[in-house]
Amino acid sequence: MTPRFLLLLAMLLVAAPGLAAEGHSATEIVRAAIDHWRGLSSYTEMTMVIHRPDWERSMTIQAWTRGQDQTLVRVMEPKKDRGNGTLIDDNSMWTYSPKINRVIKVPSSMMGQSWMGSDFSNKDIARADDIIDQYEHRLLSERVADGVTVYEIESVPHEDAAVVWGREVLSIRDDYVVLEHAFYDQDGALVKALRSSEIGEMGGRTIALRQRMAKIETPEEWTEISVNAVEYDVELGDEIFTLSNLRNPRD
């Protein structure tokens, strides 16, 4: 079970050299990306900019991940949102706000709502779907650009997968940097896409430093995440991913 957000993080932030260029099936490429990341832990600081035609909001967030199942996200800036947090453990999602000093389990009816006002839904962030089990992957094309091979992989959700998309298309470089993750509706029209606009070295790896999620119909509404700092393979104890830590940060 891989929470989707972790999957995104896995594929966007984690880079590993040496994805064999030739002869890999699409499933293997995706599996390799996940396998590589599985069992690892990370600590990331990033800035999330939510843009709308008439306003823009920026927030700084910290994220801890361990394995595929556990994520803790906490807002640092702006001040009014400081301390707001989200904990994902396995299949469940909790949210905490210091203003009300309450931890609330996000019910299914709220999963479709926007996560912290961004263009990601709670479901995008937390949904527990195994990308390997829930999708059928197919290698569409393979091309070489700027000296790296880019695999274009089409992922079609299974009949009973809790995914509304008709298909998703991932463009993954052979060093695991995901260039693009596109979501198509069931008529085959592109609805939204997550695109990497800046790729560079950080935390000892090549990662996407800046990505933007935008709906195709409303290009003026987007959410951009840029990585400020990242550490991989950090020691994270069990106590990080608990409700009490969500409520009372230990740092």
Partner 1 sequence: MNLVLRLAWRNLWRQPRRTWLTTGAMVFSNTLLVFMISLQFGMYALMIDNTLKIFSGHMQIQAPGYKDEQKMRQVVPDATALAGRLRRDLELDSIATRGFAFALASSEVRSYGIGVYGVEPRFEPAVSSVPGLVREGRYLDDPEAYEIVIGDVLARNLQIGLGDELTLLGSGRDGSFAAAVVNVVGIFDSGVPDIDRNIAQVPLAAFQEIFYMDGAAHSIVIKAPTLDQAPAVQARVEAMLPADAGLVVHDWDALQPGLRQAIRADMSSAFFMYGVLVILVAFSVLNTQLMSVLERTHEFGIVMALGLRPGRLGRLVMLETALLGGLGLAIGIATGSLLTSWFTVRGFSVPGMDEMAVAFNLPARMYPEVTLLTAITGPAVVMLFTLLAALYPALRLHRLHPVQAMRAH
Partner 2 sequence: MQRLRVLVLLAWRYLWRNHRRTIIMISAIAVGCWAMIFMTALTRGMVDQMIRDGVSALPGHVQAHHPDFLDDPSVMNRMQVDEQRLGARLEGTAVLAWAGRVRVPAVVTSERESRGVTLLGIDPEAERSFSFVDYDAVEGRFLQGPGDDGIVIGAKLAARLDTEVGKRVVVMSQDPDNEIADRGFRVVGLFHASMASFEENYVFTGRRTAQELLRIGDATTEIVFLGDDYREVEPVFTTVLDVLDDGLAVRRWFEVDTYLGSMLRVMDGFMLIWVIVIFLALSFGLVNTLVMAVFERVREIGLMLALGMKPAYILGQIVLESMMLLAVGLLIGDLLAWATIVPLEGGIDISIVAEGMEMMGASSVLQPQLNVADVVMSNVVVLVLGFLASLSPAWRASRYEPVEAIRKVG
Q: Which residues bind partner 2 (CB under 8 A)?
A: 91-92, 105, 107-109, 111-112, 123, 127, 157-166, 183, 185-186, 191
Cα 102 from chain centroid (whole Å): 26
Contact characters 24-63, partner 1, x per CB under 8 A: --------------------------x-x-xx-x------
Q: How many residues sit close enough to partner 1 to count as binding (CB under 8 A)?
A: 24
Letters for 99-138 (x = contact with partner 1 by CB under 8 A, - = none) are: xxxx-xx-x-xx--xx-xxx--------------------
Kindly provide the b/e burial profile for residues 139-165, where b requires at least 16 CB atoms within 10 angstroms of the residue's own CB.
beeeeeeeebbbbbbbbbbeeebebeb
Q: What is the 3-state secondary structure (H, E, C) of the chain?
A: CCEHHHHHHHHHHCCCCCCCCCCCCHHHHHHHHHHHHCCCEEEEEEEEEEEECCEEEEEEEEEEEECCCEEEEEEEECHHHCCCEEEEECCEEEEEECCCCEEEECCHHHCCCECCCCCCEHHHHHCECCHHHHEEEEEEEEEEECCEEEEEEEEEECCCCCCCCCEEEEEEECCCCEEEEEEECCCCCEEEEEEEEEEEEECCEEEEEEEEEEECCCCCCEEEEEEEEEEECCCCCHHHHCHHHHHCCCC
Torsion of CA 153, 155, 156, 162, to 10 degrees: -170
Measured from the CB of residue 161, what is the shortest distance to partner 2 in angstroms? Answer: 5
Least Å distance between CB 74 and partner 1? 12
Interaction partner, residue 195 (partner 1, partner 2, none; CB < 5-8 Å by kind): none
Question: Which pair of tokens denotes residue 64?
Answer: 């801890």
Instruction: Give me 156's structure tokens.
Output: 């079609």
* Least distance to partner 1, CB of residue 241, Å: 20
Nearer residue to partner 2 within complex by CB, 126 or 209: 126
Nearer to partner 1, 97 or 242 (CB): 97
Minimum Å distance from CB 84 to partner 1?
A: 5
Binding partner of 100, given partner 2, partner 1, none, CB within 5-8 angstroms per partner class:
partner 1
Residue 99's binding partner among partner 2, partner 1, none (Cβ under 5 to 8 angstroms by kind) is partner 1
Closer of 43 and 135 to partner 2 (Cβ): 135
Q: Minimum Å distance from CB 9 to partner 1?
A: 20
95 binds, among partner 2, partner 1, none (CB under 5 to 8 A by kind): partner 1
71 lies in the binding site for partner 1 (CB under 8 A): no
Q: Which residues bind partner 1 (CB under 8 A)?
A: 50, 52, 54-55, 57, 80-81, 84, 95, 97, 99-102, 104-105, 107, 109-110, 113-114, 116-118
